[in-house]
Amino acid sequence: MQKPRLLVPAMATPNGTLVHPAYFLLVGIPGLGPNVHFWLAFPLCFIYALATLGNLSIVLIIRVERRLHEPMYHFLAMLSTIDLVLSSVTMPKMASLFLTGFQEIEFNVCLAQMFLIHALSAMESAVLLAMAFDRFVAICHPLRHASVLTGPRVAKIGLAALTRGFVFFFPLPFILKRLSYCQAHTVTHSFCLHQDIMKLSCTDTTVNVVYGLFIILSVMGIDSLFIGFSYILILRAVLELSSQGAALKAFNTCISHLCAVLVFYVPLIGLSVVHRLGGPTSLLHVIMANIYLLLPPVVNPIVYGAKTKEIRSQVLRVFSKDGR
């Protein structure tokens, strides 16, 4: 079959004509042949089904069960919604790539996927920060928890997380469109990331590098610092409790959130570091990017379902009814 023309003029500028590819080529896992990729598509589909079922179940349980209409569970519903959308943006295309070997992704579609991945990641970071604040108020100032985290305030926090993710990452597709791509056109991941697309340009990428570093530090960087500071205050308050049982019970309410933070930030920091160390994209880059995008949507529902008594009881109740 004849392939479409790869390079097409995009627009004329004072410095010349920008050249954009008609499509990029996605890559699965380097070093693995088509047969291995084909069989990897099936566990990937299972992971996507598990992530969808888990996050959708949490959202529906929190919506239906009135006892769960509390700030912590509202933030959890936001987190699950973000994970649900994020997995839907990445996993079906990856499964299609592995299953059929069809690598092409249209230029604008790639930029749209890139924007959604980064914006949703920023929203997830903001929700994790809000959950840390919820745990801080609940443990350090329990009598003020209900008055500080009211329903309208929780809604405003969710809207702020959505707005910030959109505003900070909305310029990314446009600063990538101002570049010319007249050489390589193979994206070395199974999805589109800003750093990866930027490296394919044959023009100056200083603006992209500076802005990319700025938003990583000002969004995820600041969020992680505030989350760490919150847990320092939480740990200090827990250690000041007179009863060891009360201290363990208080800190136990943070375990699920701590797991979600580690699952999100450890791969994110690792991916950012290896990308900014320079050099060609390696198997390490690809594995860390896959962990960063695939792990949180699957792990978060499992951890919260296992550690949160109210959610666990609702799930068991549904299965017990089905088993009758």
Q: What is the pLDDT along the chain (324 residues), one digit of tens a residue?
A: 334 445 555 544 445 567 788 888 888 787 777 788 888 889 899 999 999 999 998 998 888 888 888 888 999 999 999 999 999 999 998 888 888 888 889 999 999 999 999 999 999 999 999 999 999 998 888 888 888 999 899 999 999 999 999 999 999 999 999 888 876 788 888 888 888 888 888 888 889 989 988 998 899 889 999 999 999 999 888 887 777 777 788 778 888 889 899 989 988 877 777 666 655 556 777 777 888 888 899 998 888 877 777 777 777 776 666 555
Maximum CA extent, the chain? 75
Contact 19, 7 (CB under 8 A): yes
| CA 12/CA 222 separation, integer angstroms | 39
Three-class secondary structure of residue 188 per DSSP: coil
Q: What is the 3-state secondary structure (H, E, C) of 79-148?
A: HHHHHHHHHHHHHHHHHHHHHHCCCEEEHHHHHHHHHHHHHHHHHHHHHHHHHHHHHHHHHHCHHHHHHH
